[in-house]
Structure 1
Amino acid sequence: MSKVRVAAFSISLDGFGAGPRQSLQAPLGVGGEGLHEWFLPTRTFQRMVGGGEDGSTDADDRFAARSFENVGAWILGRNMFGPVRGPWPDESWKGWWGSNPPYHVPVFVLSHHERPPLEMEGGTVFHFVTGGIEASLRRAKEAAAGKDVRIGGGVSTIRQFLQAGLIDEMHLAMSPVLLGSGEALLAGLDLPAMGWRVTERVGTAQALHVVMARSG
């Protein structure tokens, strides 16, 4: 059965999924790069950036690899796609990832402003959805054709889907860093009351991997 899931989403020990003062120079916010130190050395990441078979093959890599399995479509918030705000001035911004993004499936980007679909190398096509999270999920499920839909972030987007009860499974990688401020992922959310329970936890030197599922 297909799922709507969050996978390999990194948060700090104090609960932030991005640091403060995000910008073109600091897309993850100040200090936010420290959230992903568990992911960067993995073979999964190295393959994404052309590193071949280099990289670790430990538990961190296994969780990284799992995050891409059976994914038929992604949903991203506009901030995850890029730093442009307001109406699109033109179509020159094509994401953070270069000509061949790591998705290789349809990606639905939440936006208040229309923009034509953007076809990239490797099978990634960005679709810009102005109808909100429900509309993006309908289109993503149709495009996924029975596979999973991955909610890639950022924090605000995941919170919207959580609050609407639209996520089935969530894997968080808790990195041993403190950010002090930024975008808090779970603040004010009563996860047990929302039906969430922990189903798996694995600790490594770089992260505590926690998998949760929602019942009902």
Structure 2
Amino acid sequence: MNKLFFDSGISLDGFLAGDHRGPQNPLGDGGMSIHNWMYEGGQENGPESKLVEDTLARTGSYIMGKRMFEEGEPNWPEDLYKADVYVLTHEKRDPWVQKGTTVFHFINDGIESAVKKAKNSSRGKDIRIQGGAETIQQFLNAGLVDEFILHISPVILGSGIRLFEGIDKTKFIIEIAEVIPGGLSTHVKYNLKLKDQ
């Protein structure tokens, strides 16, 4: 059965991105420092590289918000996702077929429709909610997330976009499934269950 999950870097004070985001600064002021673990000092065959490989291998399709798409698209290489990507929007737009296997589909009839379409194209694999924060929050509050991975970096941003802003905390039971220590980040896998299940 397909699982819905997200995988996100955050600062110690809970921010997904800093202030002043835009296409030229998609993670905002200081936001890139949250992801230093991916670019600096990791071992090619260490636990962090295995975590990245496993996450990519389990993902059959992606869902993201329009803002993430608009801010990331100018900087992304061709065929970055190598899968179908469902972009939540209010606009009607034809799919954008890239060279390779990445196709961006623009969904304007709600998150349930995006999930259904993502399941149909995921080849039995899991569906990754790619972001941004508002999209992740929407899926959490709808009770659709099965698990998530946080990459907690030893960085304090002080302000920006909080990952868990506006989440109904009474809705879930969150269990730690695994902790993977790293040199520049601590990686924690969580299982998430609705309290009424």
TM-score by length of 2: 0.91
Residue matched to 1:66 = 54
| Structure 1 gap ranges (5+) | 44-54, 84-92
| Aligned length in residues | 194
Distance in 1 (CA, whole Å) between partners of 2:34 and 2:170 is 25
- The yes-or-no answer on 1:4 pairing with 2:4 is yes
Residue matched to 2:14 = 15
Is this contact kept in 2: 1:71–1:150, CA < 8 A? yes
- The yes-or-no answer on 1:105 pairing with 2:104 is no
Q: Counterpart of 1:37 in 2: which secondary structure?
A: helix
Q: Deviations over 1:138-170 (max 9, x none)?
A: 111111132111111111111110111101110
Q: Aligned AA for 2:62?
A: W
TM-fit CA distance, 1:26:
0.6
Residue matched to 1:156 = 134
Task: Choose from 102, 110, 119 the match for 2:97.
Answer: 119
Question: Which consecutive segments of 4 or more residues in structure 1 shift more than 4 A?
Answer: 190-193
Distance in 1 (CA, whole Å) between partners of 2:41 and 2:15 is 22
Residue matched to 1:182 = 160
Q: Aligned AA for 1:212?
A: Y
Q: Aligned AA for 1:205?
A: G
- The yes-or-no answer on 1:40 pairing with 2:39 is yes
Distance in 2 (CA, whole Å) between partners of 1:70 and 1:199 is 17
Structure with the bigger percentage of strand: 2
Distance in 2 (CA, whole Å) between partners of 1:95 and 1:114 is 20
Is this contact kept in 2: 1:41–1:56, CA < 8 A? no
Overall identity of the aligned pairs, in %: 38
Is this contact kept in 1: 2:141–2:168, CA < 8 A? no
Q: Deviations over 1:78-106 (max 9, x none)?
A: 111114xxxxxxxxx955313x2321010
Q: Aligned AA for 1:26?
A: N
Is this contact kept in 1: 2:5–2:129, CA < 8 A? yes
Task: Choose from 44, 47, 52 the match for 1:56.
Answer: 44
- The yes-or-no answer on 1:166 pairing with 2:157 is no
Q: Deviations over 1:54-89 (max 9, x none)?
A: x63222212111211121110011111114xxxxxx
TM-fit CA distance, 1:136:
0.8
1:129–1:25 Cα change, 3 Å = same
- The yes-or-no answer on 1:139 pairing with 2:117 is yes
